[in-house]
């Protein structure tokens, strides 16, 4: 049973991914019918610590939220599957806590990994607005990732992922700024894989401007 409390959560899930294909106009050496049943299990744990602080002279609440996520998904050869709606997920802090590294169901990634992440928020006491949020996390892999989007792609065998980080802050009432960063310790020439800065102006629910 999932446990959700004000101080955090502990949620476990069991999945069974099922796919089946009945294709036409296939090449002679390509199968027309194939199906897969792939079991998966994950567990997600988070704690929330709070303390009172101040933000530019105003009372605020600051949190520290460590999070651990583990997922185990069996390997199944899916190289004969078509790719109708599957792509690789964009790597980000949020994607560190997702069970499948692909979108759609044409590829179910084999997984045996654990993610460590931490988020800190500063929240205004009076309004409840989030004034500042910082997050950082990284994945540690226990096995190679044999399922790839392209059949000819090499098996991924890095022990760790890139480090993903996010920072978001409220500049003014209608203005917010955020940065997404990605640093890969496995790359020596260009370890910074992502550096994105975004400004957002939202004066009301019907008007929104994004600059990135």
Note the pLDDT tens digit of each residue in 60-107.
999 999 999 999 999 999 988 888 889 999 999 999 999 999 999 999
Check if the beta carbon of residue 69 is closer than 8 Å to that of residue 138.
no
Percent residues over pLDDT 70 in the chain: 99
SS3 50: strand
Among candidates 39, 42, 53, which has minimal Cα distance to 10?
Answer: 42
Check if the beta carbon of residue 139 is closer than 8 Å to that of residue 159.
no
pLDDT for residue 64 = 98
139-196 pLDDT, tens per residue? 999 999 999 988 667 788 899 999 999 999 998 888 899 999 999 988 888 899 999 9
Hey, how many other C-beta atoms are within 10 angstroms of the C-beta on 137? 24
Distance CA 103, CA 87 (A): 5
Q: Which residue has the tokens 């499948």?
A: 100
pTM here is 0.89
> With 90 as the cut, is the pLDDT of residue 41 above it?
yes
pLDDT for residue 1 = 67
For residue 189, give both structure tokens. 């020439």
């Amino acid at each position: 049973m999932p446990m959700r409390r004000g101080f955090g959560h502990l949620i476990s899930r069991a999945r069974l991914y099922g796919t089946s294909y009945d294709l036409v106009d296939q090449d002679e050496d390509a199968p027309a019918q194939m199906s897969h049943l792939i079991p998966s299990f994950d567990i997600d744990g988070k704690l929330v610590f709070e303390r009172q602080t101040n933000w530019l002279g105003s009372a605020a609440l600051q949190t520290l939220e460590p999070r651990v996520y583990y997922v185990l998904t069996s390997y199944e050869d899916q190289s004969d599957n078509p790719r109708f709606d599957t792509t690789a997920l964009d790597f980000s802090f949020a994607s560190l806590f997702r069970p499948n590294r692909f979108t759609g169901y044409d590829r179910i990634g084999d997984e045996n990994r654990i993610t460590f992440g931490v988020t800190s928020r500063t929240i205004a006491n009076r309004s409840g607005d989030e004034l500042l949020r910082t997050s950082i996390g990284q994945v540690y892999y226990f096995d190679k990732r044999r399922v790839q989007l392209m059949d000819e792609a090499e098996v991924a065998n890095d022990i760790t992922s890139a480090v993903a980080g996010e920072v978001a802050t409220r500049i003014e009432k209608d203005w917010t700024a955020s940065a997404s960063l990605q640093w890969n310790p496995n790359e020596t020439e260009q370890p910074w894989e992502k550096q994105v800065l975004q400004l957002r102006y939202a004066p009301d629910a019907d008007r929104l401007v994004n600059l990135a």
